[in-house]
Amino acid sequence: MSTERTGPDAPVRALPAVALLAGLPLLAAAVLLGLAGVNAALVLGSDRFHPWMVKLWLLSAVVGYPVLRVVLLARRPRPAAAAGPALSREAQPALWARVDAVAAAAGVRGPAELRLVPEPRLAVVERTALLGLLPGRRTLLLGAPLLLGLSAAELDALLARELGRFAGNGVRLGPVVLSGHDAVGQVVAALHLRADRHRAAEAGEIAEENAYRVASGRPARAEDPGRGGVEGVLARLFGAYARLYGRVSARVRERQEYAADRLAAELAGRDTAVAALGRADALAPLHAHYLEQYVGMGLEADLLPLPGQVVGGFAHLLAAPRRAAELDEAVRRLPRRTDEDEDEDEGPGAPPSLHRRLAALLARPDAPARLDPPPPGPAAALLADAERQFTDLEAAVPAPGGARRVDWPELVDGTLRARERGKAQPVLRALTGTGRPGTVEALLDVLDAGRGEEIARLLPRSERAAAATGRAAREFRRPLLREALRSLTMLALYARGAARWEASWSGPAFLVLPGGTAERLPGALDAAVADTPDSAPLRALLAEAAASAATPA
């Protein structure tokens, strides 16, 4: 696509796309009415019941069912959103004031409802009818991570952009084309979902039947679960329609996107709009990292952050200097990306990429913001009683039951301790199973006595290690015993209060050990599992660590 034809200001016509949108329900109605009419005429016009009438009805049903299905699905497509609690005007006057101000300045109908969502996104969804041809109630979905990561002015810019998609922007029916695109996409998604369900059910049946066939000694059936039945056919048919619509509407939609960006720049200021778009984009991977590495880590030990902190804890991460710098760097790099980077993954009819949109914005002169500037500071300050809102939001999202709620330092320390305890289970079982206490000292006694093999034999090990003999067996054993000894040493250090995991919002957690212990530990472990074992260094290290923990300096 060259910029001459598809630039932000190219003249476009929305009519073909709207015709295509309206054409589908019209065509469906025509087909259904036609079928009904033909059937009625034939039945009424014949003197008696003929067997071919059944065939005709069946044929009509085969043709009519899919048409009816699509129309029913397209009538009121449900926006798929895990929405959190609604934020009422009374409870959140500051937030609503910004939303209303932006909607008024943009000249569009504002949302009737405002909901907090856990994902880092901001979107206005409209419950349109008839593939977006009839307007409906608008809901603003406000991602809590964006509230934490954007300033109030940047939030204005994003709001202006999202609401701006519903503004005319000089193209009549432009908003209809855009919401039609959303609606068509939702129908395709719904059909695919149903087709996938059908396929999954089919695959389950085949697997069951094959298990039975194999058990009774017959060859298994081919494991092709088909293409999703009627829904699959519909999904493919309607998918083709959606692609056609996408192509026909591409230029209108592209213009609409650029116009929405422009509106954001006019209302909130160009640089604020650029920063808002860039940061919102860069916050997504950071938030995913936060969920996976921070909230997610505790799950293995059945730990969760304190109520409100699953959502709110993201603020800690954003406050870490390294993360802030990373975020700024990602935002700074965005508009500089070259076209070649992205053109490959842009199909025909795909919305313009973010870096193109940013480049288009930056090409425009900076003008003062039309909106009154909001109070400086993070957007989260607009949210009254944020902690309770975040807690309510978490309650609306399914979470694993039975998890204990702890503060962040305890979550990190507790999880990593639990991980170590898990690793130590085999050696603990081996020690207690042979009538010994499950302590590091007991393992050291075993090693000193040259009986490490008795324990190593009980640890999980590879077939090769188990099959080895003589000195090779000894060498296979050594790393196993060393790792077991390390685990028990760590458990002992935890128990004596001499080791602790320190959470870091800038990177992985790190282990805090009393002075010199970290450097001496590897050598002490090596000595304890050597051919001529020497447990003295490790014993001394344990004793010192216990002493230093007992008398904190």
Secondary structure percentages of the chain, helix, strand, coil, to 5: 65, 5, 30
Encoded one letter per residue, x for contact with another protein by CB under 8 A and - for no contact, window 472-511 reads x--xx-xx--------------------------------
Cβ-based neighbour number of residue 377 at 10 Å: 11
Q: How far is CA 26 from CA 17, 264, 532, in A?
A: 14, 37, 89
Residue 485 token pair: 């000894």
The verdict on 471 binding another protein (CB under 8 A) reads yes
> DSSP H helical segments within 167-228, as ranges?
174-215
Closest approach, Cβ 529 to another protein, in A, equals 11
468 is an interface residue for another protein by CB under 8 A: yes
Between residues 328 and 526, which has the closer beta carbon with respect to another protein? 526
In the complex with another protein, which residue's Cβ is closer, 244 or 472? Answer: 472
For position 217 contacting another protein by CB under 8 A, the verdict is: no
Nearest distance in Å: CB 475, another protein: 5
Stretch near another protein under the rule CB under 8 A, chosen from 79-87, 130-138, 279-287, 462-470: 462-470
Q: Spell out the SS3 assignment of 3-53.
A: HHHHCCCCCCCCHHHHHHHHHHHHHHHHHHHHHHHHHHHHHHHCCCCCCHH
- The smaller minimum CB distance to another protein, of residues 127 and 478, is found at 478
Sheet holding 138-143, edge to edge: 113-117, 138-143, 122-126
The residue type of 73 is L
Selected from 11, 348, 365, 470, the binder of another protein by CB under 8 A is 470
The single residue listed with the structure tokens 């309607």 is: 238
Confirm or reject binding of residue 453 to another protein (CB under 8 A): no
Nearer to another protein, 366 or 526 (CB): 526
Torsion angle, CA of 308/309/314/318, rounded to 10 degrees?
A: 110
Given 3, 46, 88, 462, the residue binding another protein (CB under 8 A):
462
Q: Smaller CB distance to another protein: residue 329 or 475?
A: 475
Report the residue number, 5 or 471, with the smaller CB distance to another protein.
Answer: 471
* Joined tokens for residue 7: 């630039």
| Closer by beta carbon to another protein, 121 or else 477 | 477
User: Does 522 interact with another protein (rule: CB under 8 A)?
Assistant: no
Maximum Cα–Cα distance across the chain: 108
Q: How far apart are CA 45 and CA 62, in angstroms?
A: 23
Q: Minimum distance from CB of 522 to another protein (Å)? A: 13
What is the nearest approach in angstroms of another protein to the Cβ of residue 470? 4
- Residue 467, interface with another protein (CB under 8 A)? no
Distance of closest approach, residue 476 Cβ to another protein, in angstroms:
6
CB of residue 353 vs another protein: minimum separation in angstroms?
Answer: 41
C-alpha 110: how far from its chain's center?
27
Cα–Cα distances (Å) from 464 to 80, 427, 456, 457, in that order, read 52, 20, 14, 13
In the list 2, 216, 338, 469, the residue contacting another protein (rule: CB under 8 A) is 469
CA dist 388 → 25, 86, 391, 399, 506 (Å): 45, 13, 5, 17, 27
Residue from the set 350, 465, 495, 527 that interacts with another protein by CB under 8 A: 465
Q: Which of residues 90-129 bind another protein (CB under 8 A)?
A: none
| Other beta carbons less than 10 A from residue 177's beta carbon | 28
Shorter beta-carbon distance to another protein: residue 119 or 483: 483
Work out how close the CB of 57 gets to another protein at its nearest, in angstroms, rounded to a whole number.
Answer: 19
What own/partner pairs with CB < 8 Å and gap ≥ 24 does 361-366 have?
361/261, 361/262, 361/265, 361/270, 361/273, 361/274, 361/277, 362/270, 362/274, 362/335, 364/262, 364/265, 364/270, 365/270, 366/269, 366/270, 366/271
Query: Shortest CA distance to 400 belongs to which of 316, 313, 310?
Result: 310
Tell the smallest beta-carbon distance from residue 217 to another protein (Å). 17
Site string for another protein, 51-90 (x = CB under 8 A): ----------------------------------------
As measured in angstroms, the least distance from the Cβ of 418 to another protein is 26
Query: C-beta of 490: minimal distance to another protein in Å?
Result: 21
Using CB under 8 A as the binding rule, the residues of this chain from 392 to 431 that contact another protein are: none
* Cβ–Cβ < 8 Å for 385, 269: no
Contacts with another protein by CB under 8 A: the residue count is 12
> With contact defined as beta carbons under 8 Å apart, do 440 and 340 qualify?
no
Q: Which is nearer to another protein, 11 or 51 (CB)?
A: 51
Task: Please choose, from the candidates 8, 12, 142, the residue with its C-alpha nearest in 3D space to the C-alpha of residue 86.
Answer: 142
Q: Which stretch binds another protein (CB under 8 A): 135-143, 301-309, 325-333, 457-465?
A: 457-465
CA distance 74 to 21: 11
- Binding interface with another protein (CB under 8 A): 462, 464-465, 468-472, 475-476, 478-479
